[in-house]
Amino acid sequence: FAFGHYTHEKNPVSAIAGLTTISIIEEENLVANAQTLGTLALKRLRKMQGRYPVIGDVRGRGFLFGIELVEDPVTKKPANDLAEAVLYRCLDKGLSFKLSMGNTLTFTPPLILTQEQLEFALQVIEESLHEEYVISGL
């Protein structure tokens, strides 16, 4: 007799799905892929930061990284409108991501991402940021 457990606990189908997922992640070296490509992404985003003063910060690890957009690099006032404009311009070009805190472009690509796909995404981000940066006049 078990009192205090939930219906979804100890579900064998969920357990095998989880174990199979872990097995695939290990067999296909997906954690190493995330580390390698995530490092490449951060390097490229930091180069962008050097060209665009509206990039107040670039941060991340593995396949969780982001670009914080600011109106002023000294005060770090959030550039929410610019971030939203970049988001929608990227969507128009086929790239989807989320905004965090209103001004941080947040990227969480799938573990199976290829270098070619990463390069496409980074190109779209840079083009969109450049276009909106010019329009905004910041």
For residue 129 the two structure tokens come to 């940021």
Q: For residues 33-46, give the mean pLDDT.
A: 97
Q: For residues 29-41, give the mean pLDDT.
A: 97
In tens, the pLDDT along 128-138 reads: 999 998 887 76
pLDDT of residue 40: 97
**Rounded distance between C-alpha atoms, residue 53 and residue 9, angstroms:** 50
Long-range pairs for 40-46: beta carbons < 8 A, 24 or more residues apart? 40/115, 40/118, 41/65, 41/107, 41/118, 41/122, 44/122, 45/122, 45/125
Average pLDDT score over the chain:
92
In tens, the pLDDT along 43-91 reads: 999 999 999 999 999 999 999 999 999 999 999 999 999 999 999 999 9
Q: For residues 80-104, give the mean pLDDT.
A: 97
